[in-house]
Amino acid sequence: MQQNGGERVKRSPHLYRLRSQSEFREIAVYSPSAFREAVVKQKTWNKKALFILGVLFVLGIAALVVIAVLQNKPLPENIKYGIVLDAGSSHTSLYIYQWPAEKENDTGVVHQVAECKVEGNGISSYHENPIRAGLSLQTCMDKALEHIPANKHKETPVYLGATAGMRLLRLSNSRVAEEVLVSVENTLRSFPFDFQGARIITGQEEGAYGWITINYLQENFRQDSPLLRFKPNSRTETSGALDLGGASTQITFVPEETIESLENSLHFRLYGKTYNVYTHSFLCYGKDQALRQQLARSMTDEQSTLLDPCFNSGYIRNFSTFDLYSSPCVSRLGLLPLTLSKTIQIQGTGNYHLCKDRVQAIFNVSHCNYSRCSFNGVYQPLLHGKFGAFSAFYFVMDFLKRATGTFSLESVKEAVEMHCAKPWNEVKRESGKIKEKYLSEYCFSGVYILNLLQLYGFNASIWDDLSFVGKIHGSDAGWTLGYMLNLTNMIPAELPPSPPLSHGGYVGLMVFFSVLSTFVLLTCWLAFRKPKCLQKGII
């Protein structure tokens, strides 16, 4: 059919192909029902399109929120724990350490978070009833269970290191020493930790681990790191370490000269650096065993009373010669009395100078096969650098009020001499709650420490290079922290916690969903707010 203004071609009763600019008018004129049908279809399409666009927009916004939350949520703290028990000659202490699972220069950043003093004497004192050695550890292990999160128990390693007290017990009765260790192992295995072993460490290990501890706490090993709790200084030189226990004493440092004795040389690699260290442990020269040697040398076979200048005047102690001579440190001297069951009474006289003479008698300085020796023919290079003295060194000097601050060698000698001259009643009155066993021996311990340090080479000219340390940055000075640091070298490094997406993936997804949401929003705007340029030709 042909008409003015356009052409229309009939395809079906209700469908037309429009060829003129008056399309809608022709539909309305020639087929009102077809026009209504087209309008309905147009509205239906608009609703479907709106629904689809709305869903896409909501999904895009939700994806942006979910990705941002997951990628930026706080990462879990990946902390590991370790337990070390220091089974010393006089007591046992438990230390709990923690460090991040990711390691720095192959060594974990370890610090002490808790400690527990085991009630009673050291595990070697249970030689007559070895089962009690393990039972004595129960209370402190229970405290470790409470301190360490339950989900970390199975992966927390437990180590027990026994020192000079157990070394002496092994010398006198190896079977009993083994029974004590078995008792300790049985107790530690009964807890839900990762038990790694209980063993008697060597004197060299004790000295070397103490050296590691001192230098770690004094920040001499590491460069600046975000993992550190405290800012390290710029020093690269290490400090020497002096340890004094009940049955042994250790000296460890990095000398300037070549170490002449290979048995006194150790190599360490920590935080990416290698150290060649001199160390020696003097078994039987801890303060308790040194006192036994001094007493044994002062006694005669028929003596029932011993006047001792190393105890304060007015002090009296009774002890059996069997207990005294049961130690290998005394029996090796060949000074056995005629009657081992005899009871001896010590009566203190409190004389610094006489005590000094008796203490010097227990050291042998008559021979040396090296360029230099400390005592008993043991090689020692010249002292080099600063030194930190801990354990009994610190406790004795702290009692004498000479542990902190700057004090000359003469000032320390005067403090020891003044203490030795005090009557026992005055000492007790001034010192209150300190156990009598320790309080009564401070005179001897002070004199002994001064003599020992002099033999090591600490004279007045280098006394300022020596400091007495108890805790540094909240950690006890001692071999256990160094032991833990060394053991973390053997623990495989773990990757630090990371977000679920890489940075590139995160940025890519955020850009994609942002563009998608913007496109959907723009499409909706164009569909429902048609610009005039899109309305051309529509009547």
Instruction: Quote the tokens at residue 538.
Output: 């529509």
b/e per residue 255-270 (b: at least 16 CB within 10 A): beeebbeeebebebeb
- Alpha-carbon radius of gyration of the chain: 41
Instruction: Quote the tokens at residue 5.
Output: 């203004």
DSSP 378: -
Instruction: Quote the tokens at residue 312.
Output: 């304060």
DSSP letter for each residue of 399-459: HTT-SSS---HHHHHHHHHHHHHS-HHHHHHHHTTS-HHHHHTHHHHHHHHHHHHHHHT--
Contact 158, 191 (CB under 8 A): yes
DSSP letter for each residue of 482-533: HHHHHHHTTSPP-PPP--SS-HHHHHHHHHHHHHHHHHHHHHHHHHHS--GG
Q: Which of 26, 205, 206, 441 is catalytic?
A: 206
CA angle, residues 104, 109, 110, in degrees to nearest 5: 155
- Minimal CA–CA distance to 181: which of 193, 195, 470, 35? 195
How far, in Å, CA of 471 to CA of 173, rounded?
Answer: 35
Residue that the structure tokens 């040398």 belong to: 297
Contact 218, 477 (CB under 8 A): no
How far, in Å, CA of 208 to CA of 482, rounded?
Answer: 8
Within 10 A of 310 (CB to CB), how many other CB atoms are there? 29
Told to judge if 206 belongs to the known catalytic residues of this protein, a careful annotator would answer: yes
Contact 448, 400 (CB under 8 A): no
How far, in Å, CA of 291 to CA of 374, rounded?
Answer: 19
b/e per residue 162-186 (b: at least 16 CB within 10 A): bbbbbbbbbbeeeebbebbbebbbe
How far, in Å, CA of 322 to CA of 300, rounded?
Answer: 14
How far, in Å, CA of 90 to CA of 245, rounded?
Answer: 8
Q: Specify the pairing of strand 471-472 against strand 111-117.
A: unpaired
Q: Specify the pairing of strand 111-117 against strand 92-100.
A: antiparallel
One-letter amino acid of 160: L
Given CA atoms 378, 383, 385, 389 in this order, what sign does their dihedral have? positive
Q: Active-site positions?
A: 206
